[in-house]
Amino acid sequence: MGFAAEFFDFASSRFGAYPWPTYTIVQGGDGGMEYGTATLITGNRNLKSLVNVIFHEAAHSWYQHLFGINETVDEWFDEGFTSYVEELAMHHIFERKGAIPTNPIMEPYRGYYRLALSGKEEPMSLLADYYNTNYAYSNAAYNKGAVMAEQLGYIIGKENLEKTFLKFYELWKFKHPTPNDFKRVAEDVSGINLKWYFNLFINTTRKIDYAIDTIAGKEIIIRNKSDFAMPLDILVEYKDGSKELFYIPLREMRGEKPAENYDIYAGVKRTVLEDWFWTKPTYSFTASKEVAKVWIDPTLRLADIESSDNHKIVK
C-alpha cells in the first residue's frame, strides 16, 4: 500500500474516519500548504521528508478542516495537534518493526525544551500574529502543541487519550469546537479535572521541573523545583532486583489515571499513593524494600525541562 493510503487508514483509526471521497496531493511548487481535501507540495526532497510533509498537510483534514479550527486564534490546537497526528503516523509507518517506544514524539519534546530554555518562550494562547519571534511562534504552535497532546495522555492514561480523540471526533466533527470542548471530552472520558493543566500549559510559560531529592533506605523524597504541579509515575528498583511503580496523583485532578500497559511496566506491581497537594514543594513516601534506583516517568512523556535529576542510583 502507498504511504498516503496507509496514512489515511492509520489516522482514520486513531482520530476518526476521513469523511470525504478523495484527497489530492498536488506537486504545485508551493508549500506544504493545507487545503480542504488537497495539499500543495514542492518536490526535490528525499522520500521521508516528502512523506512527512504530506502526512502533516493531510493531518490538517482533522485538526483544521473537520473541526473548523482557527489557526490564528488556537495555533497550538491547529498546528500542534496536526503535528501530533503526523508524528504518530510517521512513527507507525516507518518504525513499526522496532519496539514500541513509550514516547513516540520525542522530536517535538526536544523542540519544546529548547524553546522553554531559550528565554524567548511566550504563552501559546497568544494570537498567532503577535509573537515577538517566529521562533517562539513555531515552537509553541507545532512542538509545544504536540507535547500538549502526548502529555495529556500521561495525565489521563494512554487508552483514555485514544478514547478522547475518537469521542471528540464523534461529538464535534463538522462543528466549530474550541479547545475547551476538547478539554471537556477528555474530562468526561477520564473522570479527571483538567482545568489546571490546560490553564498552565496554554496560558502561561511555566515549566515543569521535578527532581529526586533524597533516597534513604526505603524512604524517597521527591521535590517540585518549579511552579507547575503534575501527577507523577515513579519506577523504583529494589536491591533484590524487583520493581514497583508508584503513582502520585495531583490533588486537583480529583481522580486517578488507570494503569497503563507499557512494556517497561509489564509484570511490575503498581501502587497508588496519596494525592500530592500541589502547593507543597516536596513529597515523601516509603517504598516496600531497600531502594536501589528511582526513576521519575520512565515513559518520558512528562515534559520536565531538566531531566538529569529524574533518575537516581543509590551508591
Q: How far is the CB of 172 from Zn ion (least distance, A)?
A: 19
Q: For Zn ion, which is the closer residue by CB, 49 or 214?
A: 49
The C-alpha cell 509484570 sits at 267
User: How far is 147 from 145, CA to CA, in rounded Å?
Assistant: 5
- 86 neighbors 10 (Cβ within 8 angstroms): no
313: which strand partners? 293
Q: For Zn ion, which is the closer residue by CB, 76 or 197?
A: 76
Instruction: Please report, as residue ranges, which positions from 26 to 85 form the binding site for Zn ion (by CB under 5 A).
Output: 79, 82
Q: How far is the CB of 136 from Zn ion (least distance, A)?
A: 17
Q: How far is the CB of 182 from Zn ion (least distance, A)?
A: 18
Residue (of 207, 229, 204) closest to 306 by Cα position? 207
- Letters for 192-211 (x = contact with Zn ion by CB under 5 A, - = none) are --------------------
What b-and-e string marks burial along 262-277, b requiring 16 or more CB atoms within 10 Å of the CB? beebeebeeeeeebbe
Q: How far is the CB of 315 from Zn ion (least distance, A)?
A: 48
Q: For Zn ion, which is the closer residue by CB, 55 or 113?
A: 55
Give the number of residues in contact with Zn ion, rule: CB under 5 A.
2
Instruction: Please report, as residue ranges, which positions from 81 to 110 form the binding site for Zn ion (by CB under 5 A).
Output: 82
User: How far is 160 from 194, CA to CA, in rounded Å?
Assistant: 13
Q: For Zn ion, which is the closer residue by CB, 61 or 82?
A: 82
Q: How far is the CB of 198 from Zn ion (least distance, A)?
A: 21
Q: How far is the CB of 67 from Zn ion (least distance, A)?
A: 14
Helix, strand and coil content of the chain, in percent to the nearest 5, comes to 45, 20, 40
Q: For Zn ion, which is the closer residue by CB, 62 or 168?
A: 62
Q: For Zn ion, which is the closer residue by CB, 79 or 256?
A: 79
Could you tell me which residues come within 8 angstroms of residue 252 by beta carbon, excluding any fewer than 6 positions away?
193, 195, 196, 229, 278
Interface contacts to Zn ion, rule CB under 5 A: 79, 82
